[in-house]
Amino acid sequence: MAKKIILIFLFFSVCILRVQAAEAVAQAQKFADLEPIKKDDRVLIMAPHPDDEAIGCAGVIQQALAKGAKVRIVYLTNGEHNQLAFIVYEKRLTFRKGEFIHMGEVRRKEAIEAMKLLGLNENDLIFLGYPDFGTFAMFGRYWGSKKPFKDLLTRISSVPYKDNFSFGAPYLPENILNDLKKVLLDYKPTKIFISHPSDVNVDHKTFYLFLQVALADLDKEIPRPKIYPYLIHRLGWPLPRHYHPELSLEPPVQFLDKQINWMKFPLTKEQLDKKYKTILCYRSQTQSSAFYLLSFARKSELFGDYSDIELAPQMSLKEKAVQFFGFSDMYEDQNTGVLGKIENHIQDKEQISYAVIDDSLLIRIRKEKEFNRRFSLYLYIFGYSYQSPFSSMPKIRIITKYKSFKVFGGRKMIKPEGASLSLEPNSLILRLPLKVLGDPEFILVSVRAYNRGTLPVESSGFRKIVVE
């Protein structure tokens, strides 16, 4: 046991040292400034939990109000699942249903206090109140379900907060989507600040997914707003921890060459001081995690999204090179025998790349060393079609283990015709027919690759793939 603890400690020590060294390199890079906020802007901040809006966007909120722009905030959850923080805050165990609701009420009141400090009033805040740490399961497995999602700890299956916008709504993804569409139709934002699709917190990436679907549904009803994702949760980031007003917020090193267009928003001293005080309004969280939360109170805020991947369909002709979006290499499909040099579409060599060929989506994962039997993948693939309601579109989850794979549609395992897995010494190619995804116009896909242990060796946040 002692040996195992030492190895774990050494592993995380090496990770931290690597991140620190890499972030020093990141600080030397230059990023564009965030586009100026104008008086006629209608800014919408989308926060998965109360405190995310302060951590990621307190400076932007102040700047927008100073310019005379309108600002509104919508919270996906009330954040009732952070039991450790509340044990520290209230100095008692909190595991009963009523205690969880109390936790959510505390965080809602903290948000009202915090945003008042920035210049907003309670009418500018919209609390939905869906299940903390449950929205991703809802998005992937509960569309069209007769029974709503039930939280494993709280045993709650509908929004319990009487003062919330969505009070009484069953925990179904259709309700989140409809609520969000109501907010967008009513407010018609010009700029949206949303949690990042690569955030490791499931509620954060899920809010981004719901936004993508809502905007696609409303494509002909409201002007397309500009989207600015902000990152909160990533292993070993940001460093150093605690309050460092002399430092800028830099991207994690693993995101420096991942096709993300990073932008910075510089804070004045007055804006930074107020952001610091705003974060401290969340006493239920800062009593246990101030060292982490205050590490976002720096002289800049950071925003950036992936660019869309646009894939033209290809045919499996032997004499034709197959073009993957992502890296330059050779590709041979064991099913079709296609062999050719893949064009390099970007400067860096991505570990994960995509192609559409013979009406199928191909996902390729490249690895430096040969694959072994402990290699596995977790993929989430959601297709969107303008001709079909998103609730009726397939929600695909794929788990691979070495040469075998399982495909799930919602909560059921399926065996789609035409799906295949090709394993080469240094790459793996998964093929999934587009009809399995509902013949979509675009696809939202996330890939995590594991070789040993529980930490991914490669992962991508949700990417939007447009099928031309």
Question: Is residue 284 in a domain?
Answer: yes
Question: Is residue 224 in a domain?
Answer: yes
What are the tens digits of pLDDT across the range 90-105? 556 666 777 888 889 9
Question: Is residue 317 in a domain?
Answer: yes
What are the tens digits of pLDDT across the range 161-172? 999 999 999 999
Same domain, 371 and 256: no
Q: Is 466 exposed, middle or buried (0-12, 13-18, 19+ CB in 10 A)?
A: middle
What are the tens digits of pLDDT across the range 311-350? 988 776 554 555 666 543 444 444 444 433 333 333 335 6
Same domain, 273 and 338: no
DSSP sequence for 362-408: EEEEE-SSPP-TT-EEEEEEEEE-TTS-GGGS-EEEEEEETTEEEEE
Same domain, 213 and 342: no
Region 133-145: mean pLDDT is 96
Q: Is the pLDDT of residue 241 over 70?
A: yes
Q: Which domain holds residue 458?
A: 309-467
CATH number at residue 282: 3.40.50.10320
Same domain, 170 and 80: yes
Residue 15: pLDDT band by 50, 70, 90 thresholds?
Answer: very low
CATH number at residue 373: 2.60.40
> Residues 67, 41: contact at Cβ < 8 Å?
yes
How far apart CA 353 and CA 363 sit, in angstroms, is: 6
Mean pLDDT score of the chain, rounded to an integer?
A: 86
Question: Is residue 114 in a domain?
Answer: yes
The answer for residues whose C-beta is within 8 angstroms of residue 26's C-beta and 6 or more apart is 250, 251, 253, 256
**10 Å Cβ neighbour count for 287?**
14
Q: Is 178 exposed, middle or buried (0-12, 13-18, 19+ CB in 10 A)?
A: middle
Same domain, 70 and 138: yes
Predicted local confidence at residue 4, as pLDDT: 44
Same domain, 246 and 392: no
Question: Is residue 2 in a domain?
Answer: no
What are the tens digits of pLDDT across the range 436-460? 999 999 999 999 888 776 666 667 8
> Residues 163, 127: contact at Cβ < 8 Å?
yes
Domain-terminating residue out of 251, 283, 306: 306
Question: Is residue 15 in a domain?
Answer: no
Domain-terminating residue out of 278, 306, 334: 306
Q: Report how many domains make up the chain.
A: 2
Question: Is residue 362 in a domain?
Answer: yes
Predicted local confidence at residue 217, as pLDDT: 98
Domain-terminating residue out of 306, 328, 348: 306
Same domain, 335 and 292: no
Residue 423: pLDDT band by 50, 70, 90 thresholds?
Answer: confident
Question: Is residue 7 in a domain?
Answer: no
How far apart CA 298 and CA 164 sit, in angstroms, is: 32
The secondary structure of residue 294, as a DSSP letter, is: G
Same domain, 260 and 381: no
* pTM reported for the whole predicted model: 0.88
Region 127-134: mean pLDDT is 96
Give me the count of residues in the chain: 468
How far apart CA 245 and CA 252 sit, in angstroms, is: 18
Query: Among residues of the chain, what percentage have pLDDT more than 90?
Result: 66
Which of 366, 394, 328 is closest to 141 using CA atoms? 394
Same domain, 296 and 392: no
**Selected residue with higher pLDDT from 247 and 3:** 247
